[in-house]
Structure 1
Amino acid sequence: MTTFDERENAFEAKFAHDEEMQFKAQARCNKLLGLWAAEKLGKTGNEADEYAKSVVISDLEETGHEDVVRKVSGDLGDLSSDDDIRAKMAEFLVEAKAQVLNETN
C-alpha cells in the first residue's frame, strides 16, 4: 500500500467517524428535546421516555430537522412556539455534542 492509499484510508475513516459522531449527537439532541417536550406535556417516567423515542424517530422522516420541529410543535400546541422549539434544539445540540464527546473519551 502506498502512502497515498494510507492517507486516503485515514481520511475516509475520519470522515466516517465524524459522521457517526454527528448522527449520535443529533439523535441525543432530539432525545433531550423530546424529554423537554414530554415535561411540558406532563409526561413522566416510561411515558416521557417513549415520547422522547418518538421524537428521535420523527427525525428519520425527511432530510433536515423541520420534521422534528413539526412533530414537537404539533404535540405541544400553544405550550411552545416553533421558534422556542428551534432555540431549544440549538441549546440541546451543544449539550448533546458534549455528552457524546465525553462518552468517547
Structure 2
Amino acid sequence: MTTFDDREHAYENKFAHDAELQFKADARCNKMLGQWAAGLLGKAGPEAEAYIREVVTADFEEAGHEDVFRKLSADLGEKADAETIRAKMAECMTEARRQVLEEES
C-alpha cells in the first residue's frame, strides 16, 4: 500500500468518525430540546418520554434542523417564540457536542 492509499484510508476513517460524532450530538441535542419543550408543555413521566421521542424522530424528516424547529414551533405556540427556540437549539447543540466529545476522551 502506498502512502497515498494510507492517507486516503485515514481521511475516510476520520470522515466516518466525524459523521458518527455529529449524529450522536444531533440526537442528544434533540433529546435535550424535547426535555425542555416537554417541561414548557407541562408533560411529565411517560408522556414526556413519548414527546421527547417525537422530537428526536422529527429530525429524520429532512436534512438539517428545520424539521425539529417546525415541530417545536408548532407544539409550543405562544409558550416560546422563534428566537427563543433557535437560541435553545444553539445552546443544546453546544452542550451536546461538548458531552459527546468529552465521552470520546
1:60 aligns with 2:60: yes
Task: Note the residue ranges of structure 2 that are not aligned, 5 or more in a row.
Answer: none
**How many angstroms apart in 1 are the aligned matches of 2:19 and 2:75?**
30
**How many angstroms apart in 1 are the aligned matches of 2:102 and 2:19?**
17
The TM-score with structure 1 as length reference comes to 0.95
The aligned length equals: 105
Superposed, 1:1-105 pairs within 5 Å as 1-105=1-105
Moved over 4 A (4+): none
The CA deviation string for residues 19-45 of structure 1, in whole angstroms up to 9 with x for no partner, is 110111011111100100000001112
Task: Note the residue ranges of structure 1 that are not aligned, 5 or more in a row.
Answer: none
**How many angstroms apart in 2 are the aligned matches of 1:100 and 1:45?**
25
SS for the counterpart of 2:69 is: helix
Give 1:46 shift.
2.2
The TM-score with structure 2 as length reference comes to 0.95
- Give identity over the alignment, percent: 62
